[in-house]
Each structure stands twice: as C-alpha cells, then as structure tokens.
Amino acid sequence: MALSRGLRCCQRVFSWIPVLIITSVVLWSYYAYVFELCLFTLTNALEKVAYLLVFHVCFVMFSWTYWKSIFTPPASPCKKFQLSYSDKQRYEMEERPDAQKQILVEIAKKLPIFSRAQSGAIRFCDRCQVLKPDRCHHCSVCETCVLKMDHHCPWVNNCVGFSNYKFFLLFLSYSMLYCVFIAATVFQYFLKFWVGDLPNGPAKFHVLFLMFVALMFFVSLMFLFGYHCWLVAKNRSTLEAFSAPVFVSGPDRNGFNVGILRNLQQVFGEDRRLWFIPVFTSQGNGHYFPLKNRSSESHNPLLANEDMWEESDDGSEEGSLVEDQDPSVTIEMEE
C-alpha cells in the first residue's frame, strides 16, 4: 500500500514536467523579447512602445487561457448518475448477474442516456460506480469519469473535456497568435543579426533563438489547432473521432452533429462577444447533448424538453422520466 502511494505521488510530481517546460520557454521568451529585443536592441521609441503593448496583450491572453486549461477541474457526472446507497446495497447483495443488470436498467430509465457500449449495452463504470452520460469516459490518469472527455493532455496536466474545452481551444489560438507576433516582429532583426548589420552580443543569441522557437511552435500548433477546429465543426471529441459513438441504431460518427453554428454554440455559447474570452460560456451541463436524429428524443419527455433537465441549487439534477426503456437493454461494466 505504501509503495503504491509512493508511486502515485511520484507520478503526480512528474506529470507537471511538461507544464514546467512550457512555462520555462514562455518566461524565457518574455525576457528575450521585452528586454533583449525591445529595451536593448530597438532604438525607435514609437516602435518600442507599439511592440511592447501588443506583445503584452498577447502574453496576457495566452497566460490566462493556459491557466484556465490547467486549473479548471474536469467535470464529473452528477449524483443522479451515481448509484444511491440503497441501490448500491441492493446491487451488491444480488448475486445473479441478470438481476444486477436489471437493477441498473431500472436506474437508467430516469436518465438521458442514448449512447451505448460497442456491444450495444448501457455504459457503466465499475470504478466510479456511475452510469456514464453520453460522451462521458473514464480517465485512468485523473481516476474519474469526465463529462464529454476529449483527451488527457500532458501539456496542461489535465483532462480536456466539457468544463475546459473552450479554454483549451483558446489556449491553442492565442499560442499561435503569440508565436506569429513574435516571429513577425523579430524577423527583420533576425536578418540584421544574421548578416552582421547589428553588433554581436547577448541579444543576438536571444533574437535568433526567438525566431526558431516561435516558428517551431507555430507549425506544431497550427496542425493541432486545425484538427480541433475540424472536430468542433463536426461536433466530435478526439475519442469519438477514433471510435464512433454507438447508439441503439448502431455506430454513428455524426450522431451529435447538429450543424456548424449550433456545434460552435455548444462550445463557445450564444453570445459571440464572449467567444474569445476565457470565461465559461458552453451550453448545457455536460450530461445531455442534442442528437442529429432528434426523433429518438421524442420518446423521452425529459429529453424532448431540454429545459426540464437543469441543475438545482445543490448541484443535483432534477426531473425524472416516465417512459420505460427497452427491457432487453443490458448493462456492460467498463473500467
């Protein structure tokens, strides 16, 4: 037990290394740009002020979005998806697998669940003891089920999901803007140092490496950002892009695709003035997502009226379903 705890502690410590690497590179870029380039190399006062002003705007937005991506905790299923004490006791005391499955089927009747496991069964997490909402997956690193999980990103040491996906996208976009601005403003001085028009000194090293590092990060970020823009347009997560979500009718990669505008609004919200500001504006609560084929929702009075599925003041979900599910549906336990 002590050895296991020690290994987990070491894992948590080492998981911050990628974040420390990014932070160190960014802090060095701040010093190199502000001090070595603007204060020690530039001679035009107007150019110096303009560069510093725009640079700090980019730096603040980058830092803000990176902070939000790292320290926004991943959202987990609410209590409605967890087994109550009585249900858990009844489930554990029942020795027959079929009877256990029926107990979970009865619980699932009250929940807005449309996705299934690959076998067609309702998804159940044996570790967290919860019925998984649509698009929810268990993260082995965070050791919890994450709503609308996209992936676990080592560069932010956090799960990217419903609670911080907007912040992650803004982090990628402002990172690209940060790199583009540095490369564009450093380029002429990079050439001057390269051909010897400017005297050798500490600034030369910093300016040359600023150019290379900015271009290197921009290229890698460009492909990653483009991929996630495609995912948002299709309303897919990274996990769903590799493994299509399964519904009663079978696998469907476009099951949650409700059109580009509505897909964007699910992530960024309806108020376009807040799209580029790292404040949470995503629609819904992460437990329910509109389907491309809404005909199946009409069989469920709770899902047909999305307003009935809202969070109460204590964080629990209110409302229940009165329609019965197909009794032939089975439960599959997933880890």
Q: What is the pLDDT of residues 71-127, one digit of tens each?
A: 999 999 998 898 888 878 887 887 787 777 777 778 877 889 888 888 777 788 989
Q: How confident is the model at residue 11 (pLDDT cuts 50, 70, 90)?
A: confident
Arithmetic mean of pLDDT over the chain: 85
Quote the CA–CA distance of 168 and 223 in Å, as a whole number: 15
- Whether 179 has a pLDDT exceeding 80, the answer reads yes
- Whether 142 has a pLDDT exceeding 60, the answer reads yes
| Side chain identity, residue 103 | I
Mean pLDDT of 215-229: 97
- Whether 66 has a pLDDT exceeding 50, the answer reads yes
Q: How confident is the model at residue 171 (pLDDT cuts 50, 70, 90)?
A: very high
pTM: 0.86
Mean pLDDT of 177-196: 92
pLDDT of residue 13: 87
70 versus 116: the higher-pLDDT residue is: 70
In residues, how long is the chain?
335
pLDDT of residue 238: 96
Q: How confident is the model at residue 334 (pLDDT cuts 50, 70, 90)?
A: very low
pLDDT of residue 312: 41
Residue 137's H or E segment, with its range, is strand 137-139
Quote the CA–CA distance of 17 and 188 in Å, as a whole number: 34
Mean pLDDT of 120-138: 89
Q: How many CA atoms, within 13 angstroms, populate the side-chain half-sphere of residue 22?
A: 18
Of 35-39, 177-181, 183-187, 310-314, where does mean pLDDT reach its minimum? 310-314
96 versus 159: the higher-pLDDT residue is: 159
Q: Tell me the catalytic residues.
A: 153
62 versus 106: the higher-pLDDT residue is: 62
Alpha helices (H) in 162-319, listed in sequence order: 165-195, 202-234, 238-242, 260-268, 301-304
289 versus 100: the higher-pLDDT residue is: 289
| Side chain identity, residue 318 | E
Of 159-173, 230-244, 273-287, 307-321, where does mean pLDDT reach its minimum? 307-321
pLDDT of residue 300: 43
Domain locations along the chain:
79-153
Of 95-109, 208-222, 280-294, where does mean pLDDT reach its minimum? 95-109
User: What b/e sequence results for 5-18 when a residue is b if at least 16 CB atoms lie within 10 Å of its CB, and e otherwise?
Assistant: eeeeeeeeeeeeee
- Whether 301 has a pLDDT exceeding 80, the answer reads no
